[in-house]
Amino acid sequence: MAVLPYARMRGDRVRVYNVRDFRYVDEETYVVKFDNRTYDLDDLETLDFIVCPFKAMPGLAHTMLSFGFRDGEYLAVSVEVRLEEGESYSVLGGAMRQFEIMYVVADERDVIRLRTDVRDTDVYVYRARATPEQVRALFTDVMKRVNMLKQRPEFYDTFANNCTTNIVAHINHIHPGTVPWNPTSVLTGYSDRVAYSLGLLVDFGSFEETRKHAHINQLAARYREDPHFSARIRGQEGATRLVERPDTLDRF
């Protein structure tokens, strides 16, 4: 949490600094590694919405985005509390504006295995209905906020400035009104159901079937060291992904 990411964009190229790529033994024991990675924005193709419900409070969840590129690489973005040394997270503390907020930009294997392997929580990876153009616009908007937070810190707020509210803000900034506010907005554990009801996710029938298809814990355990981890957890073979291009909604 001491290291903040940032991005430099020039035309269709973006270089992202301090991409986290840790390997974990447990919550407190890990190999620290940060990379600088360069991407071509024209190679952006897919967007995934990741939901990780809290065991003790299933009505709340951590949510993330993962951007997929043509070569099969994924870059994850996780909006989190930035704790200082000696601090520990609490819902009440977050509501009382006791912590800063940060965007973690990371290798997808890092943020997923931290939750499936180390924290033993369920992880659901949903493919979003979005065109490459929409994915590119969202990625650019996210990177602008990454840079803004590096220059101008903000307080985290459990209900008003959290992982999910920031994702919603990015989507609505790209296309206003896509995700309307409703009382369940503060219950982040239902964000996947809301996204499904709005038609923002590639579905596999009912929400229950779609959620079952999105659950990747067993695949993450089976392929934890596979060089094509991201493809494997999506049920794909090797580095070449079978990229779906679902029709997007006009509202997104």
> Using CA atoms, how far apart are residues 18 and 102, in angstroms rounded to an integer?
13
Encode pLDDT of 131-141 as tens digits.
999 999 999 99
Give the tokens for residue 77: 């973005």
Banded model confidence at residue 190, pLDDT cuts 50, 70, 90: very high
Closest by Cα among 207, 214, 199, 209 to 247: 199
Q: Is 208 exposed, middle or buried (0-12, 13-18, 19+ CB in 10 A)?
A: exposed
Average pLDDT over every residue of 89-96: 85
Distance of alpha carbon 12 from its chain centroid, rounded? 22
Q: Give the mean pLDDT of 96-102.
A: 92
**What count of other Cβ atoms lies within 10 Å of the Cβ of residue 199?**
13
> What pLDDT score does 92 carry?
84
CA–CA distance, 132 with 130 (Å, rounded to integer): 7
b/e map 212-241, b = 16+ CB within 10 Å: ebbebbebbeebeeeebbbbbbbeeeeeeb
* Amino acid in position 115: R
| Contact between residue 15 and residue 5 where contact means Cβ atoms under 8 Å apart | no
pLDDT at 200 over 90: yes
- Would you state the pLDDT for residue 159? 87
**Region 114-140 average pLDDT:** 97
Asked if 168 and 193 count as a contact pair (C-beta separation under 8 A), the reply is no
Q: What is the pLDDT of residues 33-89, one digit of tens each?
A: 999 999 999 999 999 999 999 988 888 899 999 999 999 999 999 999 999 888 888
